[in-house]
Structure 1
Amino acid sequence: MRTLPSGYFFGSHYSENQFEQLKITDTVYTHERVDWHRHEHPYFTFLLRGKLYEENKKEAYYLQPGNLVFHYWQDAHYNKKPPEYTRGFHIEINTEWLDKYELNLWHLEGSHQLDHPAIIREIQQLFLATKRNTSDTKLIVESALINALCHSNSPVGTQRKPAPNWVAQLKDLLHSDPTAQLDLSYISNILGVHPVHISRAFPKYFGQSFTDYLRTLRINQAFTLMSNPEYNLTNISHTCGFFDQSHFIKTIQKHHTLTPKQLVKLLHSVKQVQF
């Protein structure tokens, strides 16, 4: 089976950003099928546009825009891509970098889809930092990556103890439509759990308050839509459930320190940058 060296992905690269033991690659996928292979180092893949089918030895899934996957090193998998524009970025991590910060990834052995909004937010911030290329880029990139990896080993990531069944049901409910107007009484009736218990237990199992969790879900959804030039900002604001355009602009700017227009410009940037 083929083992791909550092920085090698099947596609055309917008940019390859590298410093010390990290490599971030912004890639347009060009191969409709990639046979079984593995990579030299562990890495994240965040899909910006298009779709990917991925299969490893334990499971198979379809990746949609906004999905985040982590691959452990030497984890075998293969991919198929429909005949449409598909773009994603990768964050490849040398084990020397993990040793430097005393980070352990045994809980992520294999392949994992990570869908908690706090983890995805960190990965988005990392990606934007590589596009802005300012004096604090390295600090933002490393901090965001450390936060994402630490979150993945906490209540917001992989649970060490089995959670009650209602937790998975609630997660599916929130992720199926982040813009739905839900209240605790409705959720309580759906789950068969007392609303006070849901409210008190939510941070324990989701790592954030109800409000912060839903807000981050909606902002992440907006980020994904802004990656696609087929959507304009007015449509995105409405689709993601913001009250009005002003509320949308203020929320995005507070979250990403960029206005929606600035964010769109960065997301569509194809200029190659080297650290």
Structure 2
Amino acid sequence: MKQLTTGQFYGQTNQKLEIGGIILTDTEYTHDWVDWHYHENAYFTFILQGNVLEGNKKEIYNCTSGDLLFHNWQEPHYNRKPKGYTRGFQIEVRPEWIRQSGIALDQVQGSLKLQDPELKLLFFSLFRETKMDDATTALAIETLLLKTFTTLHESHQTDRKNKPLWLGQLREILHDSYPENLLLQELSLNLGIHPVHLSRDFSKYFHCNLGDYIRKLKIEKSLVLLSQKQFSLQDITYACSFSDQSHFTRSFRIMMGTTPSDYRKLYSK
């Protein structure tokens, strides 16, 4: 089985940055099939555009734009790419950077598909930083990556808890529709729990309040759609349940620090 060394991925490298023990790679996937292999370092793969199938010893992940995977070091996997353009953003971390940062990576084993919208928004921000590439890029990337690992650790700890049945039902409702006008009373009725109980326990499992979680999901979806040229800003506005384009732009700027149109330009860099 082949081992890929630091910064090595199957495909065409569009950009590679190395900041201390952090290696960031923007890669166009060009191989229809990649046999079993593993990587020298622990790393994240964030699908920017297109589709790819990834399999490991336990699961097979069908990944599309906006999907995020984490692989601990030397975790074997394979890839299959359907026809069409696929682009991924990878971040590797050397063992010495992990040790110096005090990250308990040994608690997060194997290959994982990460669903937390906070993690995905952090990766959209990390991607943006690589395209800005100015005097503060290195500091911003390291800060964002440390926050990523903190969030990953919190999500992993939450996943290990004995979670109530309604939690999975709630996640499904929110991720399927993130309804703008759904009232707490109505949501509680659907789940069969008291509104106070839902409001109190939501932050325990999702690390933010219900309203903020829905806002993150909406911005996350808009970022995925911005990578697809066939969607206009007006299309995205209504697909993500914003009342109008100015509301979309304002909400996007607050969460991402830039406008949707300016972020869209990053995909051509």
Q: Residues 124 and 157 from structure 1, CA distance in 2 versus in 1: closer, same or farther, beyond 3 angstroms?
A: farther
Q: Residues 155 and 2 from structure 1, CA distance in 2 versus in 1: closer, same or farther, beyond 3 angstroms?
A: closer
Q: CA deviation at 1:101?
A: 0.9
Matched, 1:63 2:63: yes
Say if 1:156 and 1:205, in contact at 8 Å, map to a contact too. no
Residue identity in the other structure for 1:7:
G
Aligned to 2:202: 202
Residue identity in the other structure for 2:151:
H
Q: CA deviation at 1:210?
A: 0.5
Say if 1:128 and 1:267, in contact at 8 Å, map to a contact too. no
Say if 2:61 and 2:113, in contact at 8 Å, map to a contact too. no
Q: CA deviation at 1:177?
A: 2.0
Q: Residues 156 and 238 from structure 1, CA distance in 2 versus in 1: closer, same or farther, beyond 3 angstroms?
A: farther
Say if 2:116 and 2:155, in contact at 8 Å, map to a contact too. no
Q: Which structure is higher in helix share?
A: 2
Instruction: Show the 5 A alignment for 1:26-65.
Output: 26-65=26-65
Aligned to 2:20: 20
Q: Residues 156 and 224 from structure 1, CA distance in 2 versus in 1: closer, same or farther, beyond 3 angstroms?
A: farther
Provide the aligned length of Structure 1 versus Structure 2. 269
Say if 2:158 and 2:205, in contact at 8 Å, map to a contact too. no
Report the TM-score, using the length of structure 1 for normalisation: 0.94
Q: Secondary structure at the match of 2:203?
A: helix
Whole-angstrom distance in 2 between the partners of 1:156 and 1:90: 20
Gapped regions of structure 2 (runs ≥ 5): none
Q: Residues 132 and 117 from structure 1, CA distance in 2 versus in 1: closer, same or farther, beyond 3 angstroms?
A: same
What CA deviation, in whole Å up to 9, does each residue of 1:120-178 have, x standing for no partner?
A: 11111111111111211111111111111111111586433221111111111111123
Task: Detail structure 1 runs of 4+ shifted over 6 Å in the superposition.
Answer: none
Tell me the percent identity. Answer: 39
Say if 1:151 and 1:157, in contact at 8 Å, map to a contact too. no
Note the aligned Cα RMSD (angstroms).
1.4
Say if 1:179 and 1:218, in contact at 8 Å, map to a contact too. no
Say if 1:57 and 1:77, in contact at 8 Å, map to a contact too. yes
- For CA contacts below 8 A with separation 6 or more, give which structure has more relative contact order: 1
Report the TM-score, using the length of structure 2 for normalisation: 0.96
Residue identity in the other structure for 1:252:
F
Matched, 1:191 2:191: yes
Aligned to 1:248: 248
